[in-house]
Amino acid sequence: MMLYGHTKKKKLFERLVNAGSLSHAYLFFGDSGIGKFLFAKELTSFLETGKWEKKEHSHPLVDVREFCQAEDKIFIGIDEAREIKTFLWSTPMASSRRVAIINNAHLLTSEAQSAMLKIVEEPPRHALVIFISHDISVLSAPLLSRLTKVYFQRFSKKEIIDFLKRQNVSESKSISIAEQSHGRPALALSLLHGEEVGEDEDIIEKHIVKLYKLGVLKNSEVLESLLDKQVDIKRFRLNKELQKKSIQELLYAKHN
């Protein structure tokens, strides 16, 4: 998937790079499925090659590494934090920066957050750390205070329709999908390609549509929680029964 939109942010970071004014640690935050991770990857391409869009068959970037939880874990622990430190302290080979992208940074354990705090407090001059999260409430205040925050907002319905039309989707289908994707290009693509929806995700989708029709503003908090839960269920191996119970409790709290 190629990055869509975020033109103003691209121009901002181009100015920062050209002026040598990049911060050493950023937090890209906002809802899931709106391009935070893709933007971080393309930023590293710009740093290393001078171009935002990395060609599919071009040489791999050498001065960037993506970090997330290991396959057999649900958190990002101290071992990953140590790997990040080792990576960042190496000298860049092709870029002005050695970049560590921490995807789903809200999964960092307390111990790992403490280790990352030490890294961003005294990083090597060539280091750049990008934290990405849709839930920054679990990140510690000391760590948050050291990060330059960049908010990624959802797209408008019109922008999602335009995004889908670029995929050669008919206008009527684009409008229908845009109404269900709630400003998230990644979700729009999932709906477009008819990706299989699990039982728990189907339950969430029904409640999202229902609450959306009842009113976005008055149901915004619970809608946001359900949308995040929908993305997490797709991404992680979550216990189905626990997720059902969590959804029921969320909806019960909303109506009581």
What are the C-alpha distances in Å from 172 to residues 47, 220, 229?
39, 26, 28
Q: Which tokens belong to 109?
A: 């354990």
Looking at residue 73, its pLDDT comes to 67
pLDDT, tens only, 156-187:
888 888 888 887 888 888 888 888 877 887 88
pTM equals: 0.72
In this structure, how many other beta carbons lie within 10 angstroms of the beta carbon of residue 164?
Answer: 24
Looking at residue 199, its pLDDT comes to 41
Q: Helix or strand or coil: residue 215?
A: coil
| Cβ atoms of residues 221 and 177 within 8 Å | no
Q: Quote the CA–CA distance of 249 and 256 in Å, as a whole number.
A: 10
Per-residue pLDDT, averaged over 95-106, amounts to 92
Looking at residue 225, its pLDDT comes to 65
Looking at residue 53, its pLDDT comes to 74
Give residue 130's pLDDT band: very low, low, confident or very high (50, 70, 90): very high
| Cβ atoms of residues 90 and 100 within 8 Å | no
Best CA proximity match to 173, nearest among 164, 182, 185, 181: 164
pLDDT, tens only, 66-87:
998 766 667 888 999 999 999 9
Best CA proximity match to 8, nearest among 29, 33, 38, 39: 39
Lowest mean pLDDT of 15-29, 126-140, 185-199, name the range: 185-199
The string of DSSP letters for 34-96 reads SSHHHHHHHHHHHHHHS-SS--TTSPPPSSEEEE---TT-SSB-HHHHHHHHHHHTSPPSSSS
Q: Above 50 in pLDDT, residue 140?
A: yes
| Cβ atoms of residues 27 and 150 within 8 Å | yes
pLDDT, tens only, 203-238:
455 555 555 555 544 455 655 666 666 556 555 545
Q: Quote the CA–CA distance of 155 and 185 in Å, as a whole number.
A: 8
The type of residue at 147 is: L
